[in-house]
Amino acid sequence: MKIETIAIHAGNHVDETSKAVIQPIILSTTFERAVDGTFPGGHIYSRSSNPNRALLENVLAKLEGGADAASFSSGNAAGMSVFQSLAPGTHIIGPDDMYHGLRNQLKNLFAGILTFDFIDVNNPEDLQSHIKPETGLIWIETPSNPLLKITDIKKVVAIAKAKGIKVACDNTFATPVCQQPLALGADLVMHSATKYFGGHSDLMGGALITKEKNDWWLKIRQVQEMGGAIPSPMDCYMLTRSIKTLPYRMRGHVHNAQLLAEFLEKHPKVEEVMYPGLPSHPQHVIAKEQMSAFGGMLSFTLKGGEAEARRVINGLKIFTKATSLGGVESLIEHRATVEGPDTKTPFNLLRVSVGLEHIDDLIADLERAL
């Protein structure tokens, strides 16, 4: 089935009792045993599994072309479960502009348990030189947040596989509509489902999708079940509902982002536009090879420095000054402020989550503010 069909049908079933065409929300935390002690409904306790979560995980796995999926209460919980699944002393290589929430997890929560280096994973020589005997995971994020760097997934996978190292890819910015990391060789895909999967800035969630059900995946599943950082049945239902429109929403995000990036690139006050759909992007060729579309996120820097960036962001009317991304409404933020004192983000950079408003209105708003 094509991705539009998968998005609608893989997370849904007709209710056998009522014949409702949309699955019911099952709020029960516990499920009845049969006389012989088995569970005829397939569920025991909702921390372990729930009918709504099972449907959500099925559609997530199918969208990414994976063997299985695990859903979590947030993207950070999903990422943390990967780190918790690794043996103490494991070395992780991550990108130098890794999403600050997961980078700070490693630095603050896993210091003394795991070791890690944040490097330019797009430089094969640099990547090779940082691999150690205890390196167990290379974490990539493409496109990256907020610099929109593109990592050649196949190239990183080739280096990793030669050393028996696993590769996990944060696919939040691209979504499975624009990029399929498992098909390119990655072992694991991570998402903040709060973003494009949810799509309306009103629920939180995280997801992991595996290429195969192996011992590592079993360990991650144990972390999910025993740790209990799971989404509620209502959140699972709402995520499954939102995913049904994901392919069509992404088309709108991509369309608007491309046109907005082209407008900004021509503006005399703009220093640089970071969007992989522009031929000027340093990894545009790689993006064309591994992405079917270029996503709805972009960043740009202003010639007037931080003061100009703050002036522009405060002059906008349609774009909302807020963190997060992936909703139908356009959001903009001064990313360095959000990331804190150890940020590597330029202070004249603004990050934009391009929404589904009419592109003429978005361009007019930015043009006026600039």
- Is 53 one of the catalytic residues? no
Does residue 99 have an active-site annotation? yes
- Helix spans in 230-329 (H): 233-243, 246-266, 284-290, 305-314
Report the alpha-carbon distance of residue 102 to residue 69 in Å, rounded: 20
Q: How far apart are CA 172 and CA 17, in angstroms?
A: 37
Please provide the DSSP assignment of 209-244 as one string: EESS--HHHHHHHHHHHHH-----HHHHHHHHHHHT
Residue 236 burial (10 A CB sphere; 0-12, 13-18, 19+): buried
Q: Which of 53, 62, 97, 99 is catalytic?
A: 99
For residue 232, give every residue at least 6 positions away whose Cβ sits within 8 Å of its Cβ, in sequence order, or none: none
Asked if 170 is an active-site residue, the reply is yes
Active-site hit among 195, 211, 241, 244: 195
Catalytic residue among 97, 170, 187, 365: 170
Q: 241 an active-site residue?
A: no
Cβ neighbours for 282, distance < 8 A, ≥ 6 positions apart: none
What's the CA gap between 73 and 198, in Å, rounded?
12
The one catalytic residue in 47, 155, 288, 310 is 47
23 contacts: CB under 8 Å, gap ≥ 6: 12, 13, 15, 51, 52, 55, 237, 240
Token pair 């590769």 in the structure block, residue: 167
- Active site positions, annotated: 47, 99, 170, 195
